[in-house]
């Protein structure tokens, strides 16, 4: 039975039952009322006739009695009047009733026997009558003496007629009521349930088949009835969307052909025409520092610069950043600009100057003592100072002003804002230039709402970020966390299928763009690798069979201490490698004005000293810690001669060292990679480790050094193909396409 039919049938039965019961009660009431009425009228009439009749019977005035009986016997509903003597014989009756009372009616006999009035409904010629009989007494004697009975016959057929009418009326009402209720119910069901369920199922189907056309908000879901279902389905959709996005992220990309600097340049020309690209970040790509009498240009350490410099080289444009080098001011023109890189100028670097106080509060304070530990969750407590926050906003305003000035002649410029230092620049820029297309790329992790919520200015930061048209994170997981955070703290409309947020009419798309490197910039092919290895190790004063390499900014999030403890445990556990395996750690000092950075530096140095002291011999040292700034050209040969590279971050947005190593290494090498890096989502052929688990780090080193050559080559081949395809040029193409087509 179909649902609609079942519903109509049940409604019909239900309504019929209810209406029948109520009709029955109502009709019974009416019947009782009519009966009571006829009885009352009969009593009154009998009582009024009684006296005259008694007198006439006692005085045997039969003629008068007959006239009286005839006169009253045909009034309205009173159809018959009959007078009986005490033996039940008719003394007088009107003509209408005569034939019926030829025999003493039972009712009369009963009244004469019991001397008490009686009434009854009877049938005369199939018609309904009400007979009311009273005994009549002579009151001339001292004692009451029964002299006969008076019977009144009232026509009661109208009661049945009335009852029939009532039943008819009620059946009609029942029909009208049933049809109306069924119709209303069907309309209500259609509007509120059928249409909604149909839309919902269509929408779930779209979702299941991956052809999402509409969003949940467009699926009009009315009424509270479906609210629990809607909530459940919304959660389900959210999980499905997240899972799907995650699967998409992890599935290998198959691009038509490789993205190169040249191809990106052509693409940008086609996509943007003559428009320039504007990039804005705290860290500058080239820093000029004094070295004695000379000025040296260095490339600061960090993934941001490594990734974006090739992009700007390919596209030209303006990169606005803080001029942190002590010789930066000397080399810029009157607009604080300089073309970079010095050896082959390809784009413009515009420097912004910060005072010591601004740097202290905006960069060291709010950015790196507040937001950095907040987003990384490596158990370093974030510090939030009001002064730092005020300065952070002021400096963000300064960056935004510089940007606005730079784009003053550009129509709908494309702006790429970088990282957590400039979280509120998107809003500041958007307010002044609504036509600008702004992307904000967040290079570090995004925590869950509970964690982010401890920041006293969480809402302000989110609002600032939502000035962007596009917000990019390295991995889908951070996008999900971000949407959850906005959902928790701001009044906004979140579309979980398309991962977008609408707030006050402005839409921000949130998408993952796993950043990468330019593989060519790191590729190296050493024909005489063994010789070079000997030379490089010789320069470091060691001679070993196996080499491990690590490259990190000295930061507590990088897990350098854990890495050293893993190496120590490896040598304890697998002593056959003492004297045969050395680890070269490049570490560039970073943010040293912050206490935790100085402490981690001391801890790392201490650990390296202790481990070396334990295992070193005259020509053997297990850890070579090269503290200082090292250029890529210096590091790349080490990547290439290494047997393994260890990236042991406790938490890392992406970690480009992992990708640099794959681009530069030889085929017979292994990457040991922390599972807490964004890179681990893509580089599944690395040995994935939990850096908090020292024992597993030791085992991972052993596994890497004893791995079958074929397996190593196979793993490396897969990872290299992946980063060759998913290179920084593809990343830029994706980011720019998403932004320019908004
Ligand atoms: O990758 C995250 C990041 O904070 C970048 O924004 C930055 O350039 C890099 O690390 C290095 O940090 P810093 O600029 O503080 O030296």
C-alpha of residue 38 to centroid of ligand 1, in Å: 104
- pLDDT number for residue 202: 76
Nearest CA to ligand 1 atom 15: 591
Task: Give the Å distance between the CA of 305 and the centre of ligand 1.
Answer: 8
pLDDT above 70 (res 217): no
SS (H, E, C) 43-99: HHHHHHHHHHHHHHHHCCCHHHHHHHHHHHCCECCEEEEEEEECCCCEEEECHHHHH
Q: What is the pLDDT of residue 223?
A: 52
Contact (CB, 8 A) for 600 and 557: no
pLDDT value, residue 324: 97
Region 383-387 average pLDDT: 98
What residue owns the CA closest to ligand 1's atom 9? 302
Give the pLDDT of residue 15: 84
Measured torsion, CA atoms of residues 241, 658, 554, 581, in degrees rounded to the nearest 10? 140
| Banded model confidence at residue 328, pLDDT cuts 50, 70, 90 | very high
In this chain, the answer to whether the domains covering 274-512 and 519-726 adopt an identical fold is: yes
- Calculate how far, in angstroms, residue 50's C-alpha sits from the geometric centre of ligand 1: 121
Cα gap 702→656, rounded to integer Å: 24
pLDDT of residue 428: 98
* For residue 20, pLDDT beyond 90: no
221: pLDDT strictly greater than 80: no
Q: Using the atom order of ligand 1, give the atom closest to the CA of residue 591.
A: 15
Q: At residue 736, does pLDDT exceed 90?
A: yes
pLDDT band at 211 (very low <50, low <70, confident <90, very high): low
Q: How far is the CA of 164 from the centre of ligand 1 (A)?
A: 94
What gap in Å lies between CA 470 and CA 633, rounded to an integer? Answer: 34
For the cut 60, the answer to whether the pLDDT of residue 220 exceeds it is no
Model confidence at 253, pLDDT cuts 50, 70, 90, reads low
User: How does residue 358 score in pLDDT terms, banded at 50, 70 and 90?
Assistant: very high
Ligand 1 site residues (CB inside 6 A) read 283, 302-304, 419, 443-444, 553, 590-591
Instruction: Give the Å distance between the CA of 659 and the centre of ligand 1.
Output: 17
113 C-alpha to ligand 1 centroid (Å): 121
Question: With 80 as the cut, is the pLDDT of residue 336 above it?
Answer: yes
pLDDT value for 250: 62
Ligand 1 probe mutation, 302, 591, 597, most atoms within 8 A of CB: 302
Cα 375 to the center of its chain, rounded Å: 21
Mean pLDDT of 240-244: 71
Confidence of residue 680 (pLDDT cuts 50, 70, 90): very high
The predicted pLDDT at position 96 comes to 82
Taking the CA of residue 420 as reference, the ligand 1 atom at the shortest distance is 6
Distance in angstroms (rounded) separating the CA atoms of residues 736 and 279: 12
Q: What average pLDDT score do residues 59-86 get?
A: 84
End-to-end CA distance of the chain: 50
Give residue 256's pLDDT: 63
Model confidence at 141: pLDDT above 80: no
CA 303 / ligand 1 centre spacing (Å):
7
pLDDT band at 224 (very low <50, low <70, confident <90, very high): low
CA-nearest residue for atom 5, ligand 1, is: 304
Report the pLDDT averaged over residues 34-62: 87
CA of 283 to the centre of ligand 1 (A): 7
pLDDT of residue 143: 67
Q: How does pLDDT run across 525-541, given as a tens digit for each residue?
A: 888 999 999 999 999 99
Q: How many angstroms does the Cα of residue 542 sit away from the middle of ligand 1? A: 32
Residues in the chain: 742
How far, in Å, from the CA of 165 to the mean position of ligand 1? 92
> For the CA atoms of the chain, what is the radius of gyration?
50
Residue 215 reports pLDDT greater than 70:
no
Residue 419 CA: which ligand 1 atom is closest?
A: 6
503 falls in which pLDDT band (50, 70, 90)?
very high
Distance 731 CA to ligand 1 centre (A): 19
pLDDT at position 741: 85
**pLDDT, tens digit, for every residue of 712-725?**
999 999 999 999 99
Q: What is the mean pLDDT of residues 319-340?
A: 98
Q: State how far the Cα of 278 lies from the Cα of 289, in Å rounded to an integer.
A: 25
How far does the centroid of ligand 1 lie from the alpha carbon of residue 96, in Å? Answer: 120
Going from the Cα of 32 to the center of ligand 1, the distance in angstroms, rounded, reads 96
Cis before residue 192, ω within 30 degrees of 0?
A: no
Return the pLDDT at 255.
Answer: 57
Q: Which of 303, 369, 472 to mutate to test the pocket of ligand 1 (most atoms within 8 A of CB)?
A: 303
Q: How confident is the model at residue 254 (pLDDT cuts 50, 70, 90)?
A: low
271 versus 512: the higher-pLDDT residue is: 512
What pLDDT is recorded for position 660? 98
Report the percent of the chain where pLDDT is more than 70: 94
pLDDT of residue 298: 96
| Residue in 320, 322, 419, 515 to alter for ligand 1 test, most ligand atoms within 8 A of Cβ | 419
Candidate CATH numbers 3.40.50.2000, 3.30.70.20, 3.20.20.70, 3.10.105.10; the one for domain 519-726: 3.40.50.2000
* Mutation pick for ligand 1 pocket among 279, 280, 283, 299 (CB with most ligand atoms within 8 Å): 283
pLDDT of residue 246: 65
Q: Which of the listed residues 299, 309, 374, 443 should we mutate to test ligand 1's pocket, taking the one with most ligand atoms within 8 A of CB?
A: 443
Predicted local distance difference test score (pLDDT) of residue 51: 85
Ligand 1 atom nearest the C-alpha of 300 is 16
Stretch 590-614: mean pLDDT, rounded? Answer: 98
Ligand 1 atom, smallest distance to 553 CA: 11
CA of 191 to the centre of ligand 1 (A): 55
Longest CA span, the chain: 162
Nearest alpha carbon to residue 268 among 215, 315, 320: 315
Closest residue by Cα to atom 16, ligand 1, is: 590
Torsion 250-256-260-264 (CA) sign: negative
pLDDT at 6 over 90: no
Atom of ligand 1 nearest to the CA of 303: 1
pLDDT of residue 301: 93
Q: Choose the weakest-confidence range: 93-107, 422-436, 447-461.
A: 93-107
Report in angstroms the alpha-carbon separations of 132 from 71, 87, 109, 111, 165: 18, 18, 13, 10, 26
Q: Which of 199-208, 442-451, 672-681 has the lowest mean pLDDT?
A: 199-208
Per-residue pLDDT for 318 more than 80? yes
Q: Are 151 and 132 in contact (CB under 8 A)?
A: yes
Q: Which residue among 301, 304, 324, 517 has the greatest number of ligand 1 atoms within 8 angstroms of its CB, and so is best to mutate? A: 304
Question: What residue's CA is closest to ligand 1, atom 11?
Answer: 302
Q: What's the pLDDT at 3?
A: 67
Nearest CA to ligand 1 atom 10: 302
- Strands of 623-627's sheet, edge to edge? 623-627, 581-588, 546-553, 644-647, 670-674, 687-689
439 pLDDT more than 60: yes
State the DSSP code for 677.
B
What is the predicted pLDDT for the residue at 560? Answer: 98
| Centre of ligand 1 from the C-alpha of residue 287, in Å | 14
- φ, ψ for residue 647 (rounded to 5)? -115, 110
Residue nearest to atom 12 of ligand 1 (CA): 302
Residue % of the chain over a pLDDT of 90: 65
Given this structure, which CATH class describes domain 2-155? alpha beta
Domain boundaries, the chain: 2-155, 163-245, 274-512, 519-726
pLDDT at 589 over 80: yes
pLDDT at 189 > cutoff 60: yes
The pLDDT, as a whole number, for residue 73 is: 76
Distances (CA, A) of 74 to 62, 79, 104: 19, 5, 21
Distance 649 CA to ligand 1 centre (A): 15
Would you place residue 380 in the very low, low, confident or very high pLDDT band (cuts 50, 70, 90)? very high
Q: How far is ligand 1, taken at its centre, from the CA of residue 286, in Å? A: 13
- Average confidence score pLDDT of the chain: 91
Across 553-575, average pLDDT = 98
For ligand 1, atom 2, which residue shows the shortest CA distance?
A: 443
pLDDT at 642 over 90: yes
pLDDT tens, position by position, 687-718: 999 999 999 999 999 999 999 999 999 999 99
- Could you tell me which residue, 573 or 497, shows the higher pLDDT? 573
Annotate 564-633 with three-state secondary structure: HHHHHHHHHHCHHHCCCEEEEEEEECCCCCCHHHHHHHHHHHHHHHHHHHHHCECCECCEEEEECCCCHH
Looking at ligand 1, which residue's alpha carbon is closest to its atom 14?
283
* CATH, domain 274-512, list 3.20.20.10, 3.40.50.2000, 3.30.70.1350, 3.40.309.10: 3.40.50.2000
């Amino acid at each position: 039975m179909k649902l609609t039919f079942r519903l109509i049938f049940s409604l019909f039965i239900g309504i019929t039952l209810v209406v029948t019961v109520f009709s029955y009660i109502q009709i019974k009431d009416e019947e009782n009322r009519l009966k009571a009425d006829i009885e009352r009228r009969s009593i009154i009439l009998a009582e009024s006739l009684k006296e005259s009749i008694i007198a006439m019977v006692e005085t045997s005035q039969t003629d008068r009695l007959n006239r009286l009986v005839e006169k009253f016997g045909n009034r309205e509903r009173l159809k018959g009047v009959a007078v009986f003597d005490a033996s039940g014989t008719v003394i007088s009756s009107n003509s209408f009733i005569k034939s019926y009372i030829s025999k003493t009616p039972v009712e009369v006999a009963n009244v004469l026997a019991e001397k008490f009035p009686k009434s009854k409904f009877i049938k005369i010629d199939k018609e309904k009558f009400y007979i009311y009989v009273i005994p009549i007494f002579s009151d001339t004697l001292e004692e009451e003496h029964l002299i006969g009975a008076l019977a009144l016959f009232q026509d009661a057929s109208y009661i049945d007629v009335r009852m029939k009418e009532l039943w008819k009326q009620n059946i009609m009402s029942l029909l009208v009521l049933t049809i109306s209720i069924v119709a209303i119910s069907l309309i209500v069901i259609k509007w509120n349930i059928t249409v909604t369920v149909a839309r919902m199922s269509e929408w779930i189907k779209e979702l299941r088949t991956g052809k999402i056309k509409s969003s949940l908000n467009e699926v009009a879901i009315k009424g509270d009835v479906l609210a629990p279902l809607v909530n459940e389905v919304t959660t389900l959709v959210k999980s499905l969307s997240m899972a799907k996005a995650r699967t998409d992220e992890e599935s290998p990309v198959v691009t038509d052909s490789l993205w190169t600097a040249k191809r990106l340049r052509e693409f940008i020309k086609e996509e943007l025409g003559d428009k320039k690209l504007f990039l804005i970040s705290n860290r500058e790509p080239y820093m000029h520092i004094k070295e004695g009498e000379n000025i040296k240009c260095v490339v600061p350490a960090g993934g941001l610069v490594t990734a974006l410099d090739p992009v700007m080289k390919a596209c030209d444009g303006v990169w606005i950043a803080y001029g942190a080098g002590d010789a930066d001011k000397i080399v810029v023109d009157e607009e604080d600009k300089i073309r970079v890189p010095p050896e082959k100028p390809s784009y413009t670097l515009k420097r912004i100057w910060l005072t010591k106080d601004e740097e202290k509060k905006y960069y060291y304070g709010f950015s790196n003592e507040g937001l950095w530990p907040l987003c990384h969750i490596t158990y370093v407590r974030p510090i939030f100072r009001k002064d730092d926050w005020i300065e952070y906003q002021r400096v963000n305003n300064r960056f935004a002003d510089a940007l606005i000035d730079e784009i003053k002649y550009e129509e709908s410029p494309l702006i790429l804002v970088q990282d957590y230092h400039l979280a509120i620049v998107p809003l500041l820029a958007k307010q002044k230039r609504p036509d600008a297309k702004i992307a904000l790329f967040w290079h570090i992790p995004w925590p869950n709402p509970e964690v982010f919520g401890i920041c006293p200015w969480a809402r302000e930061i989110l609002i600032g970020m939502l000035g962007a048209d596009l917000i990019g994170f390295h991995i889908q997981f951070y996008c999900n966390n971000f949407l959850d955070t906005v959902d928790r703290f701001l009044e906004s409309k979140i579309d979980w299928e398309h991962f977008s947020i609408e707030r006050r009419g402005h839409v921000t798309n949130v998408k993952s763009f796993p950043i990468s490197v330019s593989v060519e910039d790191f590729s190296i092919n050493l024909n005489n690798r063994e010789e070079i290895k000997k030379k490089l190790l010789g320069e470091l004063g060691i001679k070993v069979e196996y080499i491990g390499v690590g490259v990190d900014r000295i930061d507590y999030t990088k897990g350098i201490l854990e890495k050293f403890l893993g190496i120590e445990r490896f040598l304890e556990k697998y002593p056959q490698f003492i004297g045969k395996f050395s680890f070269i750690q490049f570490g560039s000092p970073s943010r040293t004005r912050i206490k935790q950075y100085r402490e981690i530096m001391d801890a790392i140095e201490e650990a390296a000293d202790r481990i070396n002291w334990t295992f070193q011999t005259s020509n053997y040292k297990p850890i070579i810690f090269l503290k200082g700034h090292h250029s890529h050209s210096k590091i790349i040969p080490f990547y290439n001669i290494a047997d393994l590279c260890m990236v042991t971050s406790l938490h890392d947005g992406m970690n480009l060292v992992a990708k640099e190593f794959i681009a530069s290494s030889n085929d017979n090498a292994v990457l040991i990679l922390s599972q807490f890096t964004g890179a681990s989502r893509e580089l599944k052929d690395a040995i994935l480790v939990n850096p908090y688990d020292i024992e597993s780090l030791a085992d991972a080193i052993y596994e890497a050094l004893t791995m079958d050559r074929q397996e190593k080559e196979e793993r490396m081949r897969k990872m290299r193909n992946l980063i060759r395809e998913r290179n920084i040029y593809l990343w830029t193409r994706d980011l720019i396409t998403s932004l320019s087509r908004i």
